[in-house]
A and B are shown apart, each in its own frame.
Chain A
């Protein structure tokens, strides 16, 4: 059973700054089978990245994903006001989610 650990728990940044979110797996994830989601209060999660680095439909190019094996990163190059939310990583096998990183002002 793979466990996903996200860090930091909370990221305090300002609009225009760069956000770097980490997702670490307890075992290697094959074939970059990792996704990222954004969730705002009262809403369902929204797919941001799949295959570790492919942006989902409608996701702006300030979002990028990278990594392989056990270490993955979601980067938001310049934060817009609508990007402040909770972000979760998810590995395909077993469909397990990380605990989330809150990006707040």
Chain B
């Protein structure tokens, strides 16, 4: 069965870069039918989709306007994983971050990781 396993630091200093990785088992990051997403959840913002990457003869990435310009989501085919990088973080980026599979809706989720932005 498909499983997503997240990893990354739980504490990031303001102005630095938040980096998380999601390992995929039971599916392929290069699948021609799946998409691989990052979603976050906080009391102030609720559930917020951040972006996705997917392969359809070539790689695509799409990002939410709220974080566009600060975000990169990249696949790593050698490790069958994908990553999130969010630059210039502020305390407002403190949230539980989830990776998830799905092009339109999200049928598999990682376990979630609390990332706190604080000095």
Give A contacts to B, CB under 8 Å: 33, 35, 37, 43-47, 50, 56-57, 88, 90, 92, 94-97, 99-100
Contact = CB atoms under 8 A, between A and B. Distances in A.
Contacts, number: 46
Given A44-B110, A45-B109, A92 B49 contact: no
B36 interface: no
Interface of B: 37, 39, 46-49, 64, 98, 100, 104-107, 109-112
A102 B17 CA distance: 34
A90 B105 contact: yes
Contacts of A90: 47, 105-106
Given A97-B46, A100-B46, A56 B107 contact: yes
A44 B104 contact: no
A50 B110 contact: no
Contact of A45 (B48, B64, B104, B106): B106
A97 B111 contact: no
